[in-house]
Structures are given as structure tokens and as C-alpha cells.
Structure 1
């Protein structure tokens, strides 16, 4: 393997606690690089690789807009619970750590995809691919609500080999893409040659700084204000805004731009957005778009004017999610006559950013419950993590604001955002591993106020995250079989019950203290207890996907915990 590739791969394994053998970990590394190209969602290594029969497909992912959907149940819940339109991307990967290209492997990957999507597949499929077929069918049952009438289909053959000009290899990719197009199942259809430099660029883009140079028609500074370093209001061409701010250099939409915005994109057909779209769609009105629209507000770590351009770094759109997404959706209709007003604010103090988010969205009559990033509970939780972590050798960080620890070079495995914290708390404190594994988006949606309830113990959130962090490290260090990764939420729930019922016998003051001790050690008495718990609660990690998502599994696991009462 090339030295640079090996370096990036090692960094991934160290940061994410990859628990498998090198070949499987390399699959996870390459799949992570692709995953971050489509979404800003967090993902676990165990969700990037799969066990079971391998028909030549290493990864199968589905995205609705820029959100990853990991299960049939979650997809059905989304589609059945809303009537809006979605842009759907279906992504397949095949990963090779070899430094040589083989035409037969390139051909075999396409044949496997064609077979998987056929009415009567000939090859045996692992459980995750069988479920993916169900998800694929569910999309077509709702085809009237899929943007462009069909999903996008992107296949990536990823290899540690350098790029090649060999005619038989490049011809294999061309022929493979034509085979996918002939299926007639997709709008934008691609078969991508993912050579080592391609993977390198994706890895560097995954967590690197977001920068842009936005050309302006004109701009003016705001007067100086406390805790605001720089601020400008600019008039820009919407075309330039799309190409430099909303899209990457390769033309793909930027991810993580709207984490500070309190509302997800509602769809082009929503009332407010249909008006925006209508203005852009009419030749006589589009030139007045900038006057009729409230504009976009951007907060960045750096805002610097240079001539008629403004440079921004590490930026978030805190108000204007709907406007921005409509512009992307109607990209082909946005010409040089469409203008836009943009506020650009350089600020780094959390309280100031909170005020900006609240004030700019208040003008849109957004309900208080939607202010996820400004909930008092989350702010107090951030303070608790900081105070508690100051005494820890490997402290954990609560990321209330997406990317806030990016400049500090902290291993991702020690950073818990709102969604990941909710999953940990759900498994440990709420005893609902099913929500953590199958319905994570529900935890920060309809169940938000149940998960982050005022008055809940901050220690329970911290301990839940600590237990998950340590379990991932123990799996990554091969202290436990890597196959337990897919069962981590059930193991956390089992550990929670064990510690709740036995903390006094274990000479601890609370369940949380016992749980912390149970996961803190790499050896010794507490580690032996954890080892016994895992072996007793789930003796065999080879559990089918269907059983994994069934309610009886958790009942069996918790029943097994009772066998450890005297240990």
C-alpha cells in the first residue's frame, strides 16, 4: 500500500477505533470517504461494513436529500410520514486494498449490482443486502415523490491502486456504466473509478476546513459590535452563491452547511418554497428575486474582503436553509439576472452565535422547540462535559455545535454530537437500544424532549457516552470480538441493567459510577466483570439482522443479565 494511503488509513483506524482485521477496516475507511461525500451525518464503523454472503458488493447506502437512511423501518417511517419530494441517491461500493487493477473484478461488481436489483436475483445475499432490496422497492412504491422521477445510482470501485490509462480497465468502467443505465432505474447514473488519489482527496475533504471566495456585486460593513469581529452585508449573483458557497469545487452540494439552521429543507412544494421557486421560474420576476427574498445569513470563523470578493472559512448558513436548497433544486434556472442578499458575520463565541441563530430565525416564526442548538439543556450539558472532562486523561467532548472542535485536532471517537449523545443515552438511561440502532433520527426529532429532558442528570449523559467510547476502544483493540460492534447498543443496555441492580454490591454510590468503572479498565477485576457480562448477555455475536432488530432479542439479553447477580 502506498505510504500516503497507509498514513490516512492508520489515522482513520486510530480516530474511529476500527475493530476488524485490516482488510475489513480498509473497507470501512474507503466507505467512510464515500459516506462523507453524500452526507454530514455521523456514522459508526460497524455501519460501514457488513457480515454474511458477499456477492461482490461491499457497501450499499441510501440517502434522502443529504440524510443517510440506514434501515427499511426508518425509510418507511420517513416516506409514510410526509408527502414532500426527496432527492434520492443510491450508492454501491466495492473496495480493494490491492495496488493492482483487475478487469474481472470491475466487471464482477457491475454484474453483482445488476443481479441485486433484478426481479429474481441469482446470487445469495447477506442480510443487509436483502434489506437494501426492500428499501429499493420502497423507493419505487413512492416514485411520484422522487425528484427527477428516478433516484440517482452511483457505483464506486475503490482501490489502493494508482490511476491507470490501461484501455481494458477504462473500457470496463465505460461498459459497466452503460449496463447500469440500461436498467432504467436511475436518473443520474455513474460508475466511478476510485483510485488511490481519489480516495486521498475524499479523506482530506471529509473533515477539512470549509472555505469559499464569494464574488460580490457590492458590499458594506456593519458598524462595530461587541464580540463580532467582522460583519458585512453583500449583494451577490445567486449563480455565484450556488457555485462557490453551496457547492464544492467538483459541483456536488456541500454538506454540513445547515447544521446551525433550525429547520430542515421542507421541499420545493412547501408553501414558502413554492413562492421562492415561482419567482425564479418566471422570466419577468426572477430579476426581482433579491428584492423579494429575505436573503441568507452566514456565520464563519473568518470573513475577509479582498477587492470585490469576500473570503469565508468554516462557515455555516444559520438562516436561509429554504432559500439555499431551492436555489440548488432549480440550479438550471438560475442565471445572471438573479441576485441575492447575504449577511456574513465573523463570530466565534457560542453565546453570540446562539443569539444570531435565534434572532434571524425568529423572523420566520420558528417554534422554540426547533432550536435544537440553543436548548438550555444542551448548553448545560456542554458545560458539564467540559468541567467533567478537565479531570479525565482522555476527556470526552459534547459537540453542541457541528464542527466546533474541528480546529483542535481531537480524535472523532472522543467527540459526541447531539445525535450520538442521544443514541448513547437512549441505550443506557432509557433502555431503548432499538431506538439507538434503528431509529436514531427519531431521537432528535419527535422524541427530542424525552431524550433531553430538563432536570435529567448530566452525569448519566456523560457516563452513557463514556461507556460507548470505551466499548469502541475495547473492540478496536481486539479485547472483544469485532462482531460485537453491531450489538453495541444492546450491550450498553445490558450493562446498564447490571449496574443498576448491583451497584451497591460493587461498592459504588450509583449506577453511573458502577457503569463508568465497568468500562474504564483494560484489565483487572472490573474488566473481568465486563468480559463475563458480554459473554453471558450475548454468548454468540453471530446474530442475524432480523433477530437483531426484533424485540425478543433485548428480552433475552436482559434475562441473561440476571445470571450475573452474584458476580
Structure 2
């Protein structure tokens, strides 16, 4: 493996606590590189690979717009509870660590996809791929909700080999892509030659800062204000905004622009967005677009004018999600006559950014419940994590906004965002590992107030996240079989039940203290207790995905822990 590829791969394994052997970890690594091109969601290494029969496909991922969907239940829920259309992307991968090319391997990958997508596949499939095929079929059952009438199918042949001009290799990709197109199941069909330089580019895009130069028609500075380093209001062409800000240098829509925006894209058909779309479609109204639209607000770590351009770094759109997504959706209708007003603000204090988010969205009558990133409870939780973890070797961090610890070079495995913290809390405190594994979006949606309730103990959140972090380290360091990674939520529920009953016997003052000790050790009495607990609660790590996702599994785990306590 090339030295640079090996460096990026090792960094991934360390930062994400990759728990498998080198071959499986490499699959997780390249699948993460692909994943990050489509979504800004947090993801576990164990969510990116699967065990079982391998018909020549190493990874299968599904995205609705930039949202990753990992279960049929969640996909069904999305289609049942929303009426909007989605850009659907199906990503299939093959990973090869070899530094040489093989036409046969490329042909085999294409043949595997063709067989997999057929009505009666000849190859055996793992439970993961069988479940993914059900998700694939569910998309077609809801084909009227798919933009363009069909999903996109992107197949990545990842290899550690350098690019090649070999005629037979390039021909294999051309012939293979044609074969995938002939199936007729997709809108955009790509067979991607993902050699090592492509892997390097994808990794850097996933892990590095966002930077852009925005050409303006004109701009003016705002007067100096406390805690605001620089601020400008600019008039830009919508074309420049799309090409510089909304898309990266490869022309791909950026996936991490809207974490600070309090609303997801609602679709082109809702009233406010249909009006924006109608303006873009009307030749007479189009030149007045900038006057009829409230504009977009961007917060960045750096805002620097240079001539008629403005350079920005580490930027987020905090208001204007709807406008931005309509512009992306109707890209072909946006010409040089369409203008837009942009506010660019350089600020780094969280409280100041909170005020900007709240104020700019308040003007759009956004409800308080939607201010997930600005809830007082989350701000208090961030402060607690910082105080509680100060001086600890195994420190963990609560990330209230995406990328806030990038400059501190904190390993992702130690960082818990709102969604991941909610999943940990559900498993340990609510004793609902099924929510953590099957319906994580509910925890920051309809169940938000149940998870981050007023009066809850901050130590409960910290201990739940710490347990998750240490469990990942124990599987990464091979103290437990990597197959237990997919059972992590049920293990945490079992540990909560166990420590709640035994903490006094163990000489601890609280259940949280016992939980902390249980997961802290790599050996000794506490590790032996955890080893016994895991092998009693979940004696077989090769559990089927259907059983893993079923509510009865929780009851089985609890019953096994009760037997241990007798």
C-alpha cells in the first residue's frame, strides 16, 4: 500500500476505532470516503461493512438527499411521514488493497451488481445485502417520490493501485458502466475508477476544512460589533453562489453546509419554496429574484475580501437552507440574470453564533422546538463535558456544532454530537437500544424533549457516552470480537441494568460510577466483570440483523442479565 494511502488508512482506523482485521478495516475506510461524499452525517465504522456471504460487493449505502438511511424501518417511516421528493443515491462498492490492476476483478464487480439487482439473483447474499435489497425495492415502490423518476446508482471500484492508462482496464470500466446502464434501474449510472488518488481526494474532502472564493457584484462592510471579527453584505449572482458555495470544486453539492440551519429542506413543492421556484421559472420575475428573496446568511471562521472576491473558510449556512436547496434543485434555470444578497459573518464564539442563528430564523417564524443546536440544555451539557473531562486521559467531548473541535485535532471517536449523545442516552438511561439502532432520528425529532429533558443529570449523558467510547476502544484493540460492534447499544443497556443492581456490592456510590469503572479497564476485575456480562447477555455475536433490530432482543438481553444477577 502506498505510504500516503497507508497514512490516511491508519488515521481512519485510529480515529474511528475500526475494530476488524486489516482487510475489513480497509473496506470501512474506503466506504467512509464514499459515504462522506454524499452525507455529512456521523457514522460508525461498523455501519459501513457487513459480515457474511460476499458476492463481490463490499459496501451498499443508500442516501435520500444527503441523509444516510441504514434500515428498512427508517426508510418506510420517511416515506410515510413526509410527502416531498428526494434525490436518491444508491452506492455500491468493491475494495481492493492490491497495488496492481485486474480486469477480471472489475468484470466480477460489475457481474455481481447485475446479478444482485436482478429479480432472481444466483449468488448467495449476506443478511445485510438481503436487507439492503428490500430497501432498494422500497425505493421503487415509492418511485413517485424520487426526483428524476429513478434513483442514481454509483458503483465505486476502490483500489490502492495508482491510476493507469492500460487499454484493457479502461475498456473494462466503459463496458461495465454500459452494462449497468442497460439494467434500466437508474437515472445517473456511474462505474467509478476509484484509484488511490481518488481515495486520497475523497479522504481529504471528508476530513479537511471547506474553503471557497465567492465572486461578488459588490459588497460593503458592516460596522464593527462586539465578538464579530468581520462582516460584509454582498450582492452576488446566484450562478456564482451555486458554483462557489453550494458546490465543491468537482461540481458536487456540499453535504455539510446546513448543520447550523434549524430546518431541513422542505422540498420544492411547499408554499414558500414553490414561490421561489416560480420566480426562477418566470423570465420577467427572474431578474428581480434578489429583491424578492430575503437572502442567505453565512457564518465562517475566516472572511477575507480580495478585490471583487471574498474568501471564506469553514463556513456554514445558518439561514437560507430553503433558498439554497431550491437553487440546487433548479440549477439549470439559474442564469446570470439571477442575483442574491449574502451576509457573511466571521465569528467563533458559540454564544454569538447562537444569537445569529436564533435571530435570523426568528424572522421566518421558526418554532423554538426546532432550535436543536441552541437549546440551553445542550449548552449546559457542553460545559459539563468540558469540565468533567478536563485532565482525564480518556477525555470525551460533546459537539454542539459540527467541526467545533477540528482545530484542536480531537479524534472523532472521542466526539459525540447531539444525535450520537441521544443514542447513548437512549441505550443507557431510557433502556431503549432499539431506538438507538433502528430509529436514531426519532431521538432528535419527536422524542427530543424526552431525551434532553429539563432536570436530567448531565452525568448520565457523560457516562453513557463514555461507555460507548470505551466499548469502541475495547473492540478496536481486539479485547472483544469486532462483531460485537453492531451489538453496542444492547451491551450498554445490559451494563446499565447490571450496574444498577450491583454498584453497592462493587463499592461504588452510584450506578454511573460503576458503569464508568466497568468500561474503563483493559484487564483486571472490572474487565472480567464486563467480559462475563457481555458473554452472558449476548453469548453469540453472530446474531442476525432481523433479530438485532427486533424489540424482543432487548427483552432477551435483560432476561440474561437477570439470570446473571440471581
For the criterion TM > 0.5, the same-fold answer is: yes
Q: Which residue of 2 aligns with 1:544?
A: 544
Q: Distance in 1 between matches of 2:409 and 2:310?
A: 27
Q: Distance in 1 between matches of 2:124 and 2:444?
A: 36
Q: Distance in 2 between matches of 1:175 and 1:235?
A: 47
**2:509 equivalent to 1:509:** yes
Q: Distance in 2 between matches of 1:210 and 1:90?
A: 25
**2:492 equivalent to 1:492:** yes
Q: Secondary structure at the match of 1:288?
A: helix
Q: Distance in 2 between matches of 1:331 and 1:301?
A: 28
Deviation at 1:251, TM superposition (A): 0.5
Alignment of 1:305-384 (within 5 A): 305-384=305-384
Q: Which residue of 1 aligns with 2:196?
A: 196
1:166-218 Cα offsets, whole Å, 9 max, x none, are 11111111111111111111111100000001001111111201100000000
Deviation at 1:564, TM superposition (A): 2.6
Deviation at 1:545, TM superposition (A): 1.0
Q: Which residue of 1 aligns with 2:74?
A: 74
* Aligned residues between the structures: 566
* Contact residue 55 and residue 125 of structure 1 kept, 8 A: yes
Q: Secondary structure at the match of 2:12?
A: helix
Q: Runs ≥4 in structure 1, deviation > 3 angstroms? A: none
Q: Secondary structure at the match of 2:285?
A: helix
Alignment of 1:73-472 (within 5 A): 73-472=73-472
1:263-290 Cα offsets, whole Å, 9 max, x none, are 0000011111000000001111110000
Q: TM-score, normalised by structure 1?
A: 0.99
Q: Which residue of 2 aligns with 1:58?
A: 58
Q: Distance in 1 between matches of 2:270 and 2:386?
A: 40
Q: TM-score, normalised by structure 2?
A: 0.99
Q: Distance in 1 between matches of 2:364 and 2:378?
A: 23
Q: Distance in 1 between matches of 2:274 and 2:117?
A: 35
Q: Which residue of 1 aligns with 2:29?
A: 29
Q: Distance in 2 between matches of 1:286 and 1:135?
A: 40
Q: Distance in 2 between matches of 1:41 and 1:320?
A: 20
* Contact residue 24 and residue 49 of structure 1 kept, 8 A: yes
Deviation at 1:242, TM superposition (A): 0.2
Q: Which residue of 2 aligns with 1:555?
A: 555
Deviation at 1:391, TM superposition (A): 3.2
Q: Secondary structure at the match of 1:348?
A: coil
Measured on the aligned residues, the alpha-carbon RMSD in Å equals 0.7
Q: Distance in 1 between matches of 2:493 and 2:425?
A: 10
* Contact residue 399 and residue 405 of structure 1 kept, 8 A: yes
Deviation at 1:394, TM superposition (A): 2.2
Runs of at least 5 residues in structure 1 that lack an aligned partner in the other structure: none
Q: Secondary structure at the match of 1:534?
A: helix
Deviation at 1:563, TM superposition (A): 2.9
